[in-house]
Structure 1
Amino acid sequence: MGTLELKLEIFDRLKNIEDITLLEKIRSLLKNTDISKTYQLEQYGIDVLNESEEDIKYGRVTSQEDLDKEDLEWLSK
């Protein structure tokens, strides 16, 4: 599971929590996390991001719907 999927799962679960004690414990836990970390990317990562931005700029993208169709076709083989 990637970072985005994990965050979405956590957000989804948080929306349904009514227990104030649990929510306060979660808030306390999150206060102790260091969100100011700076990540250094290797040159390869920077190149991939630059290529991705260029693809988006020039419309070289595939919709989620098309990706889902391709997945279904691939899975049916």
Structure 2
Amino acid sequence: MSSLELKLEIFDKLKSVEDESLLKKIMALLKTVDEDKIYHLSKYELDMVKEGEEDIKAGRVISQEQLDKEDLEWLSKQ
């Protein structure tokens, strides 16, 4: 689910919430999000994330165990 789809789904659910206590809790949670602390990815970083997502969809993945093994092999050659 994309960020936009998630936002729209949240918005749709919020429209039907009548519980003032719940709405206040949600507002407090949202106020804790400090815009200065949000990391914005560069174009290169976004491209790398997209490439990784494409690899996952195409099944080009390995287990953490296999990655650790490859790391050890690579480090032993250094």
TM-score normalised by structure 2 residue count: 0.50
Matched with 1:13 is: 13
Displacement of 1:44: 8.1
Identity between Structure 1 and Structure 2 (%): 48
Say which SS state the counterpart of residue 17 (structure 1) adopts.
coil
Structure 1, residues 8-65: CA drift from partner, whole Å, max 9, x if none?
000000000000000000001001012343513134859xxxxxxxxxxxxxxxxxxx
Matched with 2:2 is: 2
Aligned length: 46
Q: Mind listing any 5+ residue stretches in structure 2 that lack a counterpart? A: 48-78
Matched with 1:28 is: 28
Query: Using the alignment, how far apart are the partners of 1:12 and 1:30 within structure 2?
Result: 17
Q: Normalized per residue, which structure has more helix? A: 2
TM-score normalised by structure 1 residue count: 0.50
The verdict on how the C-alpha distance between 1:9 and 1:20 changes in structure 2, with shifts beyond 3 A counting, is same
Matched with 2:43 is: 42
Q: Mind listing any 5+ residue stretches in structure 1 that lack a counterpart? A: 47-77
User: RMSD of the TM alignment (CA)?
Assistant: 2.1
The verdict on how the C-alpha distance between 1:26 and 1:45 changes in structure 2, with shifts beyond 3 A counting, is closer
Query: Using the alignment, how far apart are the partners of 1:26 and 1:43 within structure 2?
Result: 33
